[in-house]
Structure 1
Amino acid sequence: MALLEAASFNWDCVSVFDPVKTSVLLLLMLVLLVMLSVGTSSLAHPERSQTPAKERTGLFKIPVWMGNATAGFQTDLKAEDFHVVEGNVPLELSKFLKPESPTLLFIAFDTVGEIANINQARAALNEELEKLSSQYWVGLISAQEQITVAQDPTPDRKLLREKIEGFTQIGKAGLLESIQSVADFTSGILLKADVRVAVIFVTDSDIGNYRADYLNPPVNASDSRDLSRRFGGRALQEKISRMAPALAKFQAPIFIVHIDPGRDPLNRAYQNGLKQFAQAVGGQLFLSKTVGDIPTVIQEVFQWVRSFYVLGFEAPRVKSGFLKVQVSLSHEPGSSSISGHLIYPSRLFFP
Structure 2
Amino acid sequence: MSYNFKPSIFFFGATGYLGSEFLILLARDFPGLQVNALVRNATPERRAKVEAIYPGINLVEGSLDDDAIIQEEVQKVDVVINTASSDHWPSVKSTLAGLEKSAAARPGNPPLYIHISGCGILADNARGEQLDNVPEYSDIGLDLKKCPPTNTHLESDIPIVEAGTRKENPIRSIIIFPCQIYGVGEGIQKTTLWLRFFTDFAKKLGYAGTWGKGHNSMNNIHVKDCANSILVVFKAALEGKADEGAEGLYFSATDAPKIPYREWTKVMGDHLHAQGLLEHPGTRPMPDEIVDPMGHYGWSLLGGNQYAKPERLAKLGWKPTETLKHSLLETMHAAVDEAWKTS
Structure (1 or 2) with the greater strand fraction: 1
Calculate the TM-score normalised by the size of structure 1.
0.26
| Structure exhibiting the larger radius of gyration computed from Cα positions | 1
Calculate the TM-score normalised by the size of structure 2.
0.26
